[in-house]
A and B are shown apart, each in its own frame.
Chain A
Amino acid sequence: MTGDTGHPPPYAAWADASLVDAATAGDDDALDALLRRHHPRIQGICLRLTGNRADADDACQEALLALVRGLNRFDGRSTFATWAYRVTTNTCLDELRRRRRRPIPGLPDDLGRSGPLSGDLGRSGPVSGDHGGTVADRLDIDAALARLAPEFRVAVVLRDLCGLSYAEIAEVIDVPVGTVRSRIARGRALLLPHLAGSTGNPAAAPQRRTP
């Protein structure tokens, strides 16, 4: 597609809604621009929710397919991003349900299912003192996330990776805002003691009532 001047349209400057309209009308370049814009975050959601690159690649591919196939039915009641995250989340949950559970050494149990709730904030050691994100940090985070019950994992990832508000997350996963708030808090409370450098020692003050 080219504009009146013969130049390609400035897709990078278009809002999602305009790209959706153009893509729905058959502009494949607009569709490509739309998918390219959201691909990094979709891929990130897939990686954080599935816990490994191979499953994430599968889920990402599946999610993009679902977005393309469902674009004609996207009614614009939500933003495209919110809808895309919803589709991606559903796809990842399908992927998780399909695959066999893969135990991760070094963690006691599935967090949020039968493991004990540690309510402290990991005071005995830094969660992640630097911003560099070492391989060990990532492994710890991925491992801890992978053991988190999906409803907590989704809420935390949509907030901390996608930066969605509680209301937007509630829309994505179709639960009340209060439930989003409690799931995020519980997920974080479960994650903190299992991150690099944190021993989960509850000897800290003030003790907080945990979700």
Chain B
Amino acid sequence: MTMPPEHPDFEDLSAFHDGEAPEWADHLAGCASCRDDLHRLTALSEAVGRVPLAAGDPGDTYDPVARAVAASRASDTSPRPGIPLGPGIPLRGPLGPGAEPGRSGSGRRRQWVLGASVAAVLAVTIAIGATVAGKEPQREVPRDTLSADGARRTAGAAAGRGGSVIEGGDLGEITDRAALVSRVGADLVRGNRDRPAQPPSPSPATGAPAGPPCEVEARADPGARGELVYRATGVEAGTPAVVLAFASADASGRVTVEARALSGCRVLLQGSIP
């Protein structure tokens, strides 16, 4: 293996760490010093990405705000000036022009939401008959949607397409292993109608399948579980994660699902669709 004579500068190393500079792969493979620095960058990324969560159920922080926000839609849909509303609106403040002085402070905002919270309570009271099925009935997925056979068929078909991978998009918060497996199973059954399957792009440096570093590491894992058929992202206990599913090449058709930390690639959760 021939290394370039120069070490990557910090920006190159940072970009390589992010999977944005694969041309340095060969150098990193042969340079212990650069790998050592890369590990420090990885530790930094993990630290930044490891957000301390509020104590208690995550819903404790979501419910009071978001339910009030949702309830507010019916009572007040007029846009307030100064709040960014769309992708076409440039950043303000330190990153752009158009600073807007004199917006209402948090005190007024809390008052406004308090009013909305009252509306939410009323709405919940009125609608209680419709939601009696459970605290979060919309999160349940019907069993027929989660047919293991269907998931295996779709996974097998994806594997059979020679590397096509179903993109699951952003799964949001991953609550537990069962929920993760159910969600991936549902996506596989659906064949992901919302997103077309895409083959992985090869690395310009090595010709090997590229993808995020975690994916490369997972594929190289000694406990190889077959063809990659699904990828998505999510958050597990505050840690950004990549979700991967592999279809076994043997007759069992077993699909292994795992969530790995986006930075560092350690396995956070693992399960299977038997």
Contact = CB atoms under 8 A, between A and B. Distances in A.
Q: Do A and B bind each other?
A: yes
> Do most interface residues of chain A lie in helix, strand or loop, or is the interface mixed?
helix
A90 B109 CA distance: 17
B270 interface: no
Interface residues of A, number: 106
B91 A131 contact: no
Contacts of B61: 39, 43, 57
Tell me which of A9, A62, A74, A89 has the highest count of chain B C-beta atoms within 10 A of its own C-beta: A62
Nearest to B52: A138
Interface residues of B, number: 100
Chain A to chain B: the 6 pairs with minimum beta-carbon distance, closest first: A37-B172, A70-B85, A90-B84, A15-B194, A13-B186, A185-B11
Interface of A: 2, 5, 7-13, 15-18, 28-29, 31-33, 35-41, 43-44, 47-48, 53, 57-58, 60-62, 64-66, 68-70, 73-75, 77-79, 81-83, 86-87, 89-91, 93-94, 96-98, 119, 121-123, 126-129, 131, 133, 137-138, 141, 145, 149-151, 154, 156-157, 159-163, 165-166, 171, 173-174, 181-182, 184-186, 188-189, 191-192, 195, 205-206, 208-211
Contacts of B84: 66, 70, 86-87, 90-91
Given A35-B69, A83-B87, 7 more contacts: A5-B142, A12-B139, A87-B85, A96-B94, A163-B233, A165-B19, A188-B41
A135 to B, nearest CB: 8
B37 A8 contact: no
Contact of A174 (B51, B71, B91): B91
Interface of B: 7-11, 13-15, 18-20, 33-34, 36-37, 40-41, 43-54, 58-59, 61-62, 65-67, 69-74, 77-80, 82-87, 89-96, 99-100, 103, 105-106, 109-110, 113, 130, 133, 137-142, 145, 169-173, 179, 182-183, 186-187, 190, 192, 194-195, 233, 235, 238, 240, 242, 262-264, 266
A160 B241 CA distance: 11
Contact of A206 (B33, B59, B95, B233): B33
A141 B48 contact: yes
